[in-house]
Structure 1
Amino acid sequence: MTLVEARGAVLLITLNRPAARNAVDQAVARAVNDAIDRLEDDASLSIGVLAGNGPAFCAGMDLKAFARGESARTPERGFAGLTGRPPVKPLIAAVEGPAFGGGFEIVLACDLVVASGNATFALPEVRRGLIASGGGLLRLPQRIPRNRAMEVLLTGAALDAATAYELGLVNRLVGPGEALDAALALANEVAANGPLAVAATKRVVTESADWTADEAFARQEPIAAAIKASADAHEGAVAFAEKRAPQWSGT
């Protein structure tokens, strides 16, 4: 079972299979996929937080379910209903305990990471004769220095939370049991900003990885122009002049 709850402009998605260390089976993948669709489609939501219930964030794919013939993927978004096509809106991982294999790939599909001191991250697939094909090979070298990423990927060894923070993988490092509250606080900080501007900012950062230096500003311009022409941009300027909090409409 996966729990989904709107808290103002924040959608909290909680993996809720603590007895199975929140391993991903078809039901979890479908529930996360549907929650991400809700985040995308609901104009009142600006950002999501993804957490795990219990002592582990996520142990990855449920091997028992796999042996029964279940897939841990969805056609729309890939592994865990997320890693193949993350949302346009930002997503924060709140990590307590191990995030191993596909669990780490879920974290890497998020835009920001809040972790407790007891969090650990690993992609041990090579130790089983496999590769981290749910986004681990593609995303980890973009998040931490290449040689450190290669060490993690080639050895299957775990990163502790403090090391992940030092490498820049973790945005905020907190005490055990504090990751969710800290992630929600960070999400609310983001959600206080213009929702169109937040989504457009993520879009430019994500898409510009493939842009050449010569084309970058030209490709950014139509995205920026749409934001400048929005009602929210006008509201932001008026609210600043009137010294009040803006009232975003998402238009």
Structure 2
Amino acid sequence: MRFLIRRIFSISEKLRARPTVIRNYSNDAQKNEEKKEEEVRKNIVIEKFDTIVTLNIDRQKSRNSLDIPTLNELTVALDTFEKDATAKVLVINGEGGSFCSGFDVDELADKGYNPLKDASSRLLRRPLCDKPTIAAVSGYAVAEGFELALACDLRIIEETAVLGCLGRRFGVPQGMFGARRLTSLIGLSRALDLLMTGRLINGSEAYQIGLGCKLTATGTALGESIKLAKSLVKFPQNALIMDKLAAVNSQLNPNSEESMRDEAVMTSLLGNAIEDIKEGAKKFQGGIGKHGKFYKLTEVPLKDWELEETLEEVQVSIQKKDDKKS
């Protein structure tokens, strides 16, 4: 899909990371030597189509999970978009068929929850950006990836997309205001269903309950998001942003003592939750709960009778030839 879009728009690829090859022919001894200096591969690829910017998460081997370097790149990309006067709409996309699978579990197990949460602090902004943002949701948008999609203003969701709070399996809370955003979008009852059970929903159900502004076929979320962005940039932006901020602030930024107290209580609970997260990460690395499985998450000791060996007695009767003739 991205290749088709490139043919429609003029592309700026200055921000794409490419290997730089340096050849040194300064003297005869070094004439045949080739020195290669490769930049560290970037996990966030930015492309600009006139006034529309696409932010593409590119960690395909881990379904675009978010480690600390990726979160740092994401922060820079979002701030750059906000400061660019020529950029009007941001489309967030995941390369390779998945939007984002949440925090990198290996790094979560190695470095703990707080470093990843600190690295994702830019995503706590409500709204994510003052300018319009669109999530092109394909494949997996789970855990913090689900929260990232919720943080965007609009969501184009593919029919076969998979969304949900997969962190529920291992005690990982919604760390980027996902619970508040989800409740604001679909109401308390439906939000509690997804938050407490952690069950996964497909794109069709997500659209039915109000999470998406459009349901689209597999492989078309990015293209449809670009089309939606084009329909937004034609409007005068000041009034559009004013109305958007008024709506978002009325739902996500209630300025009251009760709200501040509730958030303080939730923060105090995080200390105990971190111990659960450590154990959950170890379980995942050991194979428990992989591929989105919610069963056999706990190890149940076998009872005595289950440990006993049972022997099945099999009787085999051999009929003699003489008996058969008679």
Fold equivalence (TM over 0.5): yes
1:112 aligns with 2:154: yes
1:31 aligns with 2:61: no
1:72 aligns with 2:116: yes
Q: Which residue identity is paired with 2:116?
A: A
Q: Which residue identity is paired with 2:48?
A: A
Are the aligned partners of 1:2 and 1:16 in contact in 2 as well (CA < 8 Å)? yes
CA, structure 1 residues 22+41, in 2 after alignment: closer, same or farther (shift >3 Å)?
A: same
Q: Which residue identity is paired with 1:72?
A: L
Match of 1:61 among 88, 103, 110: 103
Are the aligned partners of 1:123 and 1:136 in contact in 2 as well (CA < 8 Å)? no
Report what 1:200 is aligned to: 242
The 5 Å alignment of 1:28-177 reads: 28-69=70-111, 71-73=115-117, 78=121, 81-85=122-126, 86-177=128-219
Give the Å deviation of 1:46.
0.9
Give the Å deviation of 1:178.
0.3
Give the Å deviation of 1:83.
3.8
1:96-117 CA distance string (max 9 Å, x none): 1110100000001000000111
State the percentage of identical aligned residues.
Answer: 29
Give the Å deviation of 1:198.
2.2
Are the aligned partners of 1:17 and 1:53 in contact in 2 as well (CA < 8 Å)? yes
Residue aligned with 2:61, SS: helix
Residue aligned with 1:134, SS: coil
Q: Which residue identity is paired with 1:32?
A: L
Q: Which residue identity is paired with 1:174?
A: T
User: Structure 1 stretches of 5 or more lacking a match?
Assistant: 213-251
How many pairs align? 209
1:190 aligns with 2:210: no
Whole-angstrom distance in 2 between the partners of 1:17 and 1:155: 28
User: Structure 2 stretches of 5 or more lacking a match?
Assistant: 1-42, 256-326
Whole-angstrom distance in 2 between the partners of 1:211 and 1:90: 21
Whole-angstrom distance in 2 between the partners of 1:73 and 1:30: 11
Residue aligned with 2:250, SS: helix
Whole-angstrom distance in 2 between the partners of 1:118 and 1:172: 13
Are the aligned partners of 1:120 and 1:161 in contact in 2 as well (CA < 8 Å)? yes
State which structure, 1 or 2, has the greater radius of gyration over its C-alpha atoms: 2
Q: Which residue identity is paired with 1:66?
A: L
Backbone CA RMSD of aligned residues: 1.8
Ranges of 4+ aligned residues in structure 1 off by more than 4 Å:
none
Residue aligned with 1:94, SS: strand
1:58-95 CA distance string (max 9 Å, x none): 110001122332733456x61xx424451111110001
Whole-angstrom distance in 1 between the partners of 2:118 and 2:173: 19
Whole-angstrom distance in 1 between the partners of 2:148 and 2:242: 22
Whole-angstrom distance in 1 between the partners of 2:234 and 2:211: 24
Report what 1:216 is aligned to: none
Q: Which residue identity is paired with 2:92?
A: L
TM-score normalised by L of structure 2: 0.61
Residue aligned with 2:180, SS: helix
